[in-house]
């Protein structure tokens, strides 16, 4: 089983990246939860269970980082480091950090 870490927000994401093994890092960007426990992002609501169901299949040499983003930062912030610097243009996004492999929105909902 891979090492799995969950963080919330951009500051905690940046701290996690500073300590991660970047060559072996898989990052999943999703939405924070509302009071009822569901994500504020409809695509994340559909994709989260699909991605979570595949975690046990990850190679043990990979590190999995789940990053939960809040709605105000994602939707309203004039400066979004994820969009501007790391080319994360949608939630959810599943990617190999520093590599071209990535899945976004509808792709994350497909278990195949």
* 44 tagged catalytic: yes
Q: Out of 8, 44, 90, 108, which one is annotated catalytic?
A: 44
* Residue 108 annotated in active site: no
For the stretch 5-14, pLDDT in tens is 999 998 999 9
Q: Which residue in the list 8, 41, 90, 108 is annotated as catalytic? A: 41
Q: Please give the pLDDT value at position 15.
A: 93
Burial 9-33 (b: 16+ CB within 10 A, else e): ebeebeebbeebeeebbbbbbbbbb
- State which of 13-17, 85-89, 105-109 shows the largest mean pLDDT: 13-17
pTM, full prediction: 0.90
Task: Check residue 32 and report its DSSP letter.
Answer: P
Query: Which band of pLDDT confidence, cut at 50, 70 and 90, is reported for residue 22?
Result: confident
């Amino acid at each position: 089983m891979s090492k799995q870490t969950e963080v919330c927000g951009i500051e905690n994401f940046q701290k996690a990246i500073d300590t991660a093994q970047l060559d072996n890092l898989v990052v999943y960007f999703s939405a924070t939860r509302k009071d009822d426990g569901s994500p504020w992002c409809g695509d994340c609501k559909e994709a989260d269970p699909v991605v979570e169901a595949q975690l046990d299949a990850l190679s043990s040499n990979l590190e999995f980082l789940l990053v939960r983003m809040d709605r105000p930062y994602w939707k309203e912030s004039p400066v979004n480091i994820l969009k501007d610097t790391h080319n994360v243009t949608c939630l959810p996004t599943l990617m190999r950090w520093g590599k071209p492999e990535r899945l976004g929105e509808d792709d994350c909902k497909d278990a195949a």
